[in-house]
Structure 1
Amino acid sequence: MLRFITVIWLAISATAAQAEIDIKQVTSPGGINAWVVEEPSIPFIALEIRFRGGAALDAPGKRGAINLMTGLLEEGAGDMSAQEFQSAREALAASYSFRSFDDTISISARFLTENKGEALDLLRQALVDPRFDQEALDRVRAQVLSGIAGDEKDPNAIASATFNALAFGDHPYASSRQGTAESVTALTQDDMFVAHRNALTRDRLYVAVVGDTTAEAVGEMLDELLGGLPATGVPAPDDAEFALEGGVTVVDFDTPQSVAFFGQKGLKRDDEDFFAAFILNHILGGGGFESRLMQEVREERGLTYGISTSLVPMFHAELMLGQVASANETIAEAIDVTRSEWARMANEGVSARELASAKTYLTGEYPLRFDGNAEIAKIMVGMQMVGLSPDYVINRNDFVEAVTLEEINRVASELMQPDDLHFVVVGKPVGLTSTN
């Protein structure tokens, strides 16, 4: 019911969402920063915490340690076993989520205002005083190993993993954050404490809070919640060098349908051409059924059920990626059409009609992202991590509207490199062989 009410409240003001969101910045006495949106009409608080670094901070020979450690944060803390921790959480009707990614560790918390103190104390114990009991370690390890085994049989996972391994050499991005069966099996309880100490540190911290609280109250609680974490951790890895040249890599896999994962270099999130590239990607392959690739590969030729592209500006590398699946007999044609559309966009750019249509969609859907306290908190913490200012939510659509036809077509000619596209194809593709 609370979620329903929250959505209704925001839906009513969706068209004026930018004006409704008043972001306040606070700093605790201990120097911890947070962004806060006060919404006292509903007795509910959403808290988002991010630690920059994520699985890329795994120690040499310990791949998968940070991912496994993150999965253990709710498996007992302080003097509570895993079962006791879950019982305490359920008694508070609180929700916690702990997830690791290549560049971040994400913690999401949801709780009623009346349970704020107890919910925050339980979260503090999970973050600051985890137990990493051997029984819990073995159980969660088994879950991770099951996921690794499943990925070894999943064509999509194989394609992505192969692309990353070829693209990034010995950088952490080259391997799965889950680790390998061998590396995860070898991880110990001591490795969990080391991973925790290295990754969950105050110098990597970003916080956003939305709901029935005040900026003053958040400032007071930050040190209590997070002040017990180490001040600093291990250094971040160097930036990754994208090592893939244009071509095709075929991974033999017994399936009637091939999966192709493809990409080239992208551009940084703070690049002055980012918004032009963002709109460009929407027109090419990020706009669903209206995108060029969907029209040409699916609608005109019937070669796939779906094809998509995305800009992926990670912290240590920038990519433009895509994915398509087609029958073994037609995947070669799907790749040819994709590369041709890539080249056509580079050479001819986009039309005024395409640009206007993309702007209408992108500016219209943006307020709809703010569909609840939790979503607003996620957006705010993400903004902090890429160096945006609070007024971005007000100005974002202006940035989209400011992109001119001349600008987007210049970016198309500079960014789109069809000869640099590399396709990793998993399956038994007819008429395709590896070129590398």
Structure 2
Amino acid sequence: MRFVFAGLFSLILALPAAAAVDVQQVRSPSGIDAWLVESHDIPFVALEIRFKGGASLDAPGKRGAINLMTGLLEEGAGALNAREFATARDALAASFGFDVNDDALSVSAKFLTENRDAAIDLLHQALVAPRFDPDAIERVRGQIAMAIRSEATDPGKIAGRKFNAMAFGDHPYGTSENGTLDSLAALTRDDILSAKDSVIARDRLYVAAVGDITADDLGQLLDRLFAGLPATGAAMPGPADYQLHGGVTVVPFDTPQSVAVFGQPGIDQDNPDFFAAYVLNAVLGSGGFSSRLMREVREKRGLTYGVYSYLYPMDHAALILGQVASGNGRIAEAIEVIRAEWQQAQAQGITETELEAVKTYLTGAYPLRFDGNGNIADILVGMQLQGKGVDYLVHRNDMINAVTLEDVSRVAARLLNAEALHFVVVGKPEGLSSTN
């Protein structure tokens, strides 16, 4: 997220640990739902808004339109051009952030209580009446084009894009939300207007607020903020069928170090076995220097500075992904070790010692995420998007602690598949060639 955070806001204190966060479910007079945590110690409010669907709602042939539109939301609205809008926002000591991925468009706002009404009016204009002035369109289009060109020289980005394209084909997940240079150049102002109505609509709206505001005041604020939005947006895309099989794809690139992105099908976040899979992956690949992959690939063999894996549940697909970088002469060995560790975890699960250590880490680290109004609001809106209830905050650590060694072994045997792992390697790897 792109935030310009006024210096005063750095003084905001963290709320209590997760279990002590009192979440109210608020419904505005017009029927907009939101979650609220009141905290009146400091005259400040953090607001997190999500519009479900995100850049995956790009119309056919218009890839990159929603991303371009998102970048223009702070480039002038209503009677204010881009410079006037920025001046008005800064005069209020407010900050607005706009971002998008394939599953959601995010809006973040932070403002002082004394400027709340004016800040909301300004944000309302950005959501309802963005100007999309020609000069702003060309300026932001140029920034995105620069990012596309930069990504074309980044081995990690190249590997990720290639993996997605092979995994998801024609589904929006298969292409970058930036679009291509050609698709970006072809977008018109009418395309941008259509993109806005596709995603910024009330039927896909999620809101969380934390700070110096009451439930009644929040309800009134929501109706003012979202007045005039379309009732419905574009239809959600269908499932993203995973199309990759195990193997290796080499993308030649002149660099002394190869980068590999690897993955296989994963597990949905609402699956009853998700927490067992989460614990499993924490031991296998996401636990920093304590993870098996780091120990075997880096510490024992010195093949890389870093290797990791993570669960990646999206709205329309779920993956287990990872990344490693190594010298061209050693990347083949790094891949061999990763496959071996995957196979061992699949066959044997983890140990009791590993299970207890990772439980201690995961449950102890969780409250540390609640270290400010903005972070709490972000967590709450994310919970709503995932379909979780407010009691998740209280019971999340209990669900981690409830995972047994037998659960992890069962899930490892079912979920992990070393033969299904596909590695996209960008560089000049020695001893590796594409298998497909």
In the superposition, the TM-score normalised over structure 1's length comes to: 0.98
Matched, 1:89 2:95: no
C-alpha distance in structure 2 between counterparts of 1:339 and 1:2, whole Å: 50
Q: Please show how residues 221-232 of structure 1 align to structure 2 within 5 Å.
A: 221-232=221-232
The residue identity in structure 1 corresponding to 2:30 is G
Instruction: Please tell me the residue identity of whatever aligns with 1:264.
Output: Q
Q: Give runs of aligned pairs for residues 289-328 of structure 1, distance below 5 A.
A: 289-328=289-328
Residue by residue over 1:7-40, the C-alpha shift from the partner in whole angstroms, topping out at 9 and shown as x without a partner, is 3x44xx4xxx133210000111211110000000
Question: Which amino acid in structure 2 is aligned with residue 5 of structure 1?
Answer: L
- Counterpart-to-counterpart distance in 2, 1:43 and 1:223: 21
The one-character-per-residue Cα deviations of 1:23-64 (angstroms, maximum 9, x if unpaired) are: 000111211110000000101100000000000000011000
Which position in structure 2 is the counterpart of 1:75?
75
String of CA shifts for 1:268-316, please: whole Å, max 9, x gaps.
0000000000011100010100000000000000000000100000000
Matches within 5 A, 1:314-393: 314-393=314-393
1:218 and 2:218 equivalent? yes
Does the 8 Å CA contact 1:264/1:417 hold for their aligned counterparts?
Answer: yes
- Aligned equivalents of 1:78 and 1:29: distance in 2? 25
CA contact (8 A) 1:267 1:319 kept: yes
Q: CA offsets, 1:373-428, max 9 Å, x none?
A: 00000000000000000011111000000000111111011110000000000000
Give CA-to-partner distance per residue, 1:309-341, whole Å, 9 cap, x none. Answer: 000000000000000000000000000000000
Amino acid at match of 2:196: H
Quote the Cα distance in structure 2 between the aligned partners of 1:78 and 1:66. 20
Q: 1:227 deviation in Å?
A: 2.5
Mapping of 1:202-217 within 5 angstroms? 202-217=202-217
Please tell me whether residue 101 in structure 1 is matched to residue 101 in structure 2. yes
Q: Percent identity?
A: 60
- Aligned pairs (5 A) from 1:25-104: 25-104=25-104
Shift of 1:228: 1.3
Equivalent residue for 1:158?
Answer: 158
Correspondence for 1:420: 420
Greater mean alpha carbon deviation, residues 271-280 or residues 227-236:
227-236
Letter in 1 for 2:278: F
Greater alpha carbon shift after TM alignment, 222-231 vs 56-65: 222-231
Q: Which runs of 5+ in 2 are unaligned?
A: 1-6
Q: Distance in 2 between matches of 1:377 and 1:72?
A: 24
The 8 Å contact of residues 155 and 427 in structure 1, kept in 2 or not, is answered as yes
State the distance in 2 between where 1:114 and 1:227 align: 22
Corresponding residue for 1:22? 22
Cα pair 1:30 1:227 within 8 Å, conserved: no
Give how far 1:131 is off: 0.7
Q: Over aligned residues, Cα RMSD in angstroms?
A: 0.8
Aligned letter for 1:88? A
Please state whether the residue corresponding to 1:304 is helix, strand or coil.
coil
Equivalent residue of 2:12, what SS? helix
Q: Secondary structure at the match of 1:62?
A: coil
Alpha-carbon distance in 2 for matches of 1:3, 1:93: 9
**How far apart are the structure 2 equivalents of 1:364 and 1:157?**
33
Secondary structure at 2:67's aligned position in 1?
A: helix
Comparing 115-124 and 24-33, the one that deviates more: 24-33
Query: For the residues of structure 2 that align with 1:3 and 1:321, how far apart are their CA atoms?
Result: 36
* SS at 1:311 equivalent: strand
Deviations 1:110-138 (A, max 9, x none): 01111000000000000011110000000
* AA of the residue aligned to 2:123: L
Residues 3 and 372, structure 1, Cα contact 8 Å, conserved in 2: no
Counterpart amino acid of residue 220 in structure 1? Q
For residues 132 and 204 of structure 2, what CA distance do their matches in structure 1 show? 22
SS in 2 for 1:346: helix
Please, what TM-score do these two structures have when normalized by structure 2?
0.98
Letter in 1 for 2:312: V
SS at match of 1:167: helix
Code of the residue aligned with 1:147 in structure 2: it is: A
Shift of 1:4: 4.0
**SS of alignment partner, residue 264 of structure 1:** strand
Q: Give unpaired runs (5+ residues) of structure 1.
A: none
Q: How many aligned positions are there?
A: 430
Q: Tell me how far 1:2 sits from its aligned partner.
A: 4.1
Partner of 1:401: 401
* Shift of residue 223, structure 1, vs aligned partner: 1.1
Match of 2:12 in 1: 6
Letter in 1 for 2:198: N
**Matches of 2:355 and 2:29 in 1, distance apart?**
48
1:276 aligned partner: 276
